[in-house]
Amino acid sequence: MDNASAVGTLIMIFTALSTYQGFKNREFFERYVFDVDAILIDKDYYRLISSGFLHANWWHFGFNMIALLSFSKTLELLFGYGRLSLIYFVSMLGGSFLALYIHRNHGDYRAVGASGAISGVVFSSIILFPDSKITFFLLPIEITSWVFGLFFILISIFGIKSQRDNIGHEAHLGGALTGILVTILLEPAVLQTHWLIIMALALPTVAFLILIVRNPAVLLVDKYWGFQKPNWTSNRPRKPKRPSLSKEQELDQLLDKIRTKGFASLTPKEKQRLNELRDTLK
């Protein structure tokens, strides 16, 4: 444990206890889960943070905590306990706020996990040490950290756009951007030394956020990115066309309506059509 982050270890222990309590006690889980209606209507703003201490299952918890312990030690040595904690919790809020904005009209949207906070820690490390290597658990793969960061950003953007899985891409993207911004505030010199890497990571994120704020239809219409006219009906079943009626059938329908509901039930357009049909069929 000599190489472990003290802050990371404490967060892991508290998150493990909270996650276990959520598994054991459904009422506890429901009280602290990220829930759009509970946040916006009931003003349960604490859920923006409390949901980061719950997880969907132990695999979800384990993956997040391995990532936290892998990246937090170096940041703790560089920034100290307080600033590492600041990066973690502000990034958690950043991820939650972006998820809340994107799903503000989805009252039934719910989420758990520390993904936003973890993304903030990871991206803080990436912009400080962009040429370091990232390895994957149980996989013999090594990738330069800034390349991993760029792929992560793009996957998150397309994940938010497609909404085809249960992964909290919104929290990932919001936490990553927040982690970058907080790190710049804590260590402004990084703007001079690694400005190109920061631009490569931040620009796609900022451009996407501006796009969905200015044109919310991007999130509503499949395969629409704001560069062409949206096809609002592309995913909607078309109503079958009514077969055309003969003049005799039209007249019969109008006469039936008169017999059942009276002449006064006809609309002005139907009365005009009745006269036309009567004159034509004489």
Alpha-carbon span 18 to 6, nearest angstrom: 18
Element (H, E) at 144: strand 139-144
What are the C-alpha distances in Å from 170 to residues 73, 94, 153? 26, 10, 10
* Contact assessment for residue 40 and residue 108, using Cβ atoms and an 8 Å cutoff: no
Alpha-carbon span 88 to 80, nearest angstrom: 12
Alpha-carbon span 180 to 132, nearest angstrom: 16
- Which 3 state secondary structure label does DSSP give 115? helix
Residues forming the active site: 115, 172
